Chain A
């Protein structure tokens, strides 16, 4: 099976790097090969954040660097403008329509408008917007089994953060349920 290449972009604090990491953990738990590569350096502090995830079900990931992506998530407008072109023809683009009023311009890709922040607010925790978005991505492109997402959630939201587990599980399915 060919590798799936995913790209997540947004501004610092939107949980963009976390989304990619959750997916990478889930892939590892599912015994798949995966790489997670963040952008780093001064741009990290300049407010933009992005990461690349490559998931390969059987053989090792050839290359953690990508020139096109099967799935791209954009959490803010600058990311849409900059990274819409990265989606490969026939690929998926997930747009955080809570913060991005503009529409995507390409017609050779599938575009999903996910009001991630609005859904998160409705659930009562604005910080789950990235989980809402991740849930939308996995429901459209099932690159990892949902149980493995649960597994990393259970590890992440344990101890002092245990109270956040349920709301994140709910957030993960919220878009599909709304849809």
Chain B
């Protein structure tokens, strides 16, 4: 096993995708993730890769589209407003079935909002802001180690499904340091090995049939068939990519639902509640799409309320309610704008909610 190293989140994220096979980075500076382009500009050229600072996020996502269409293993990182600007590209990538790994180190909104941590991109990343029928798998790790493991795996998932894959981290995780074990580097494709490995990619090589990467399908029946094909892929992703961690659901009087750093806060609140004689459980969605709806079937008859702990006005509530299906009340504990709740605050609010529902 490799040695443990202490790394800042943003740098660990970047190192992880390089080890996962990424050789091309396209990005535009935006707080709180600018350490990532900085790291990539230093590291990629040393490892046979290329770094390109784009003129905008719009440029970046389209560079990544070109890179992916040409068979390259590309990576983009940005933060909330930058991800918003990339939505056109996401729809194109899905329509043209081009893989890329994306990282959103999210901050507060709407608009420019703030540069402090936020989770109010939930709808943006799970529902998407691009046009058309498409889906993007989204993973929300809660520790730097988990982020490293997911980012290491993400390029392979993107390649497997020929679809973008998104990792959602909040600004806290980007700035935080935590010991991590880095995985062994994977071998990356080169321009010489791409034509055989990805025959669908455009590579300008005489490999028999020429390749065309496109999302345009002007004939309705052709486009319909294509969208149906995409949704067969998405159905497979729903089967294979759903990830969730559940704790203490058997005898929980109250169950928290939280992702990312908020899941860690909720876990501490569980400990504090237990010390006061209140059993709390936790459902931690690791994949936000596909959403782990079935985890809610594990709720026990003892559970009196499900509480979402979020840094948004309750954007995840809709999915939670789809999972809970009316069995128990669904409540919200949240802060926004870069304000962070404390675990103590979560405990106090939980006790109030329990008074209401008991």
Specify which of A36, A62, A66, A68 is in contact with B176 (CB 8 Å cutoff): A36
Given the interface pairs A36-B177, A62-B271, the reply to whether A67 lies near B342 with Cβ below 8 Å is yes
CB atoms of A60 and B143 under 8 A apart: yes
CB atoms of B342 and A41 under 8 A apart: no
- Which residue of chain B has its CB nearest to the CB of A33? B179
Q: How far is the CA of A66 from the CA of B340 in the complex (A)?
A: 10
Interface residues of A in 125-151 (CB under 8 A from B): none
CB atoms of A41 and B115 under 8 A apart: yes
Q: Which residues of B contact A62 (CB under 8 A)?
A: 264, 267-268, 271, 343
Size of the chain B interface, CB-CB below 8 angstroms? 26
Given the interface pairs A65-B343, A67-B342, the reply to whether A37 lies near B172 with Cβ below 8 Å is yes
- Which residue of chain A has its CB nearest to the CB of B179? A28
Say yes or no for A24: interface residue by CB 8 A criterion.
yes
CB atoms of B171 and A40 under 8 A apart: yes
Say yes or no for A76: interface residue by CB 8 A criterion.
no
A-contact 0/1 string along B323-358, CB 8 Å cutoff:
000000000000000001011110000000000000
> B340 to nearest A CB, angstroms?
6
Q: How far is the CA of A28 from the CA of B6 in the complex (A)?
A: 8
- Which residue of chain A has its CB nearest to the CB of B347? A67
Say yes or no for B53: interface residue by CB 8 A criterion.
no
> A63 to nearest B CB, angstroms?
4
CB atoms of B344 and A41 under 8 A apart: no
> B184 to nearest A CB, angstroms?
20
Measured CB to CB, the residues of B under 8 A from A are 4, 6, 31-32, 114-116, 143, 171-172, 175-179, 261, 264-265, 267-268, 271, 340, 342-345
Q: Which residues of B contact A66 (CB under 8 A)?
A: 342
Can you offer 19 A-B residue contacts whose CB atoms are under 8 A?
A21-B177, A28-B4, A34-B178, A37-B172, A41-B31, A41-B115, A42-B115, A60-B143, A61-B178, A62-B264, A62-B268, A64-B172, A64-B176, A64-B178, A64-B264, A65-B172, A65-B265, A67-B343, A67-B345
Q: How far is the CA of A65 from the CA of B261 in the complex (A)?
A: 9
> B29 to nearest A CB, angstroms?
14
Q: How far is the CA of A51 from the CA of B30 in the complex (A)?
A: 22
Size of the chain A interface, CB-CB below 8 angstroms? 22
Q: Which residues of A contact B32 (CB under 8 A)?
A: 40-41
- Which residue of chain B has its CB nearest to the CB of A42? B115
Q: How far is the CA of A25 from the CA of B178 in the complex (A)?
A: 9
B-contact 0/1 string along A52-80, CB 8 Å cutoff:
00000000111111111000000000000
CB atoms of B177 and A24 under 8 A apart: yes
Q: Which residues of B contact A63 (CB under 8 A)?
A: 261, 264-265, 267-268, 343
Say yes or no for A38: interface residue by CB 8 A criterion.
yes
Specify which of B175, B264, B342 is in contact with A40 (CB 8 Å cutoff): B175
CB atoms of B267 and A24 under 8 A apart: no
